[in-house]
Amino acid sequence: ETGVTQTPRHLVMGMTNKKSLKCEQHLGHNAMYWYKQSAKKPLELMFVYNFKEQTENNSVPSRFSPECPNSSHLFLHLHTLQPEDSALYLCASSQGGAGEETQYFGPGTRLLVL
């Protein structure tokens, strides 16, 4: 266990559904991240929150909406997704937002969009 939990672990949704992914870290970290991992592609950074403030949004479509109510919780709200959004969505945290720090990953949510 890395101290980062994600729910649900698996999710199947239609293109018109609205769902949310949840991430919680029990490490006292101040930075949290959402990544998208597709088969045979590099990990794609989606969003970064540092001390609850969004500091990065890597040109992610608006159908993905992050929310960080406190430094321990991170959500990814999903709305009208496309089949190409099917992927493993990974949450990570680190002590601060500095890249020289180790990132701790959750187990991921495997998302399938039909």
Alpha-carbon separation of residue 74 from 18, 42, 51, 55 (angstroms): 17, 22, 12, 14
Nearer to other proteins, 90 or 113 (CB): 90
Exactly one of 20, 22, 43, 52 binds other proteins (CB under 8 A); that residue is: 43
In the beta sheet, which residues pair with residue 7?
22
**Count of residues of this chain found to bind other proteins when the rule CB under 8 A is applied:** 25
Query: Does 45 interact with other proteins (rule: CB under 8 A)?
Result: yes
CA–CA gap between residue 13 and residue 27 (Å, rounded)? 31
Nearer to other proteins, 13 or 45 (CB): 45
Cis peptide before 83 (omega within 30 of 0): no
The residues that touch other proteins, with contacts defined as CB under 8 A, are 2, 4, 6, 40-43, 45, 48, 56, 88, 90, 92, 97-100, 102-108, 110
